[in-house]
A = this chain, B = another copy of it.
Amino acid sequence: MKIDPDNKADLSAQIAKAIRDAIVSGDMIVDQRLPSEAELADQFAVSRSTVREALKRLAAQSLIRTQRGAFGGAFVNRLSYQEAYGDQITTATLLLSMNGISFDVACEARYALERACTPLSAERRTADILATMRAEIHRQGQPGLSDESFCASDVAFHRALVDGAGNPVLSYQLAGAVEAMQPLMNMITFTARSREAIVALHTRIADALERRAPDAAQEALHELEAYTLHLGRDVMANRDKAALDKESARA
């Protein structure tokens, strides 16, 4: 592992890259211990602080973990789905909010991805998954549930749908898409009537999965997408109108 002496980028970034490359390429394997900070400082001919900054970069990406004390140090971390989920969701949420992604586009992506899971879920759904879906449907029917809680339950329902496919790679890839929608969904006011409609569609989906009927599930999901889009567009229209009103009031 070496760094380019002509490169004038931050040393800590270069060192992080060198170590990251070694991990990604398989040169360093899971649970392998990195040299101590002092040794790394020697090897790269930099100060310990610079090495530490590099290691913190890698720690932020969950590529390494550190342990204090004797026989401690930095170790190559086994990237778990759980850790990856969190980052995935944070990144997806920021991408949506920072790049002005419209409700339509986000909604389309989310339902397209969920439809990819539906046939697999219909085939493989366990009793456990069905129970989760039923429980969330029940919660969604409770009177007095806040809009935010309704949204959270909605996310839980859809995650169950995705997890039902029994493919961890799919679950990981979709975590971001499903959860990143939540801030957008939270802007929606769910009236009693719209909740009723959503619960009915959720029930149809759960029923279809229970019967192992992929086509019926697909159809209900399509209707749910159309309905969600409808709700979202109302919100966006009102929001744009409010912004315009404010604009004209100022003039």
Contact B60 A16 (CB under 8 A): yes
Tell me the number of copies of this protein.
2
Quick check: is A38 within 8 A (CB to CB) of the other chain? no
Quick check: is A168 within 8 A (CB to CB) of the other chain? yes
Quick check: is A108 within 8 A (CB to CB) of the other chain? yes
Contact A81 B95 (CB under 8 A): yes
Residues of B within 8 A of A81 (CB): 95, 99
Closest approach, in angstroms, between the C-beta of A233 and any C-beta of chain B? 17
Q: How far is the CA of A215 from the CA of B227 in the complex (A)?
A: 25
Interface 9-residue window, one of A109-117, A152-160, A200-208, A235-243: A109-117
The chain B residue with its CB closest to the CB of A66 is B10
Contact of A99 among B52, B54, B63, B78 (CB under 8 A): B78
A17-71, CB < 8 A from B: 20, 23-24, 26, 30, 49, 52-54, 56-61, 63
Quick check: is A167 within 8 A (CB to CB) of the other chain? yes
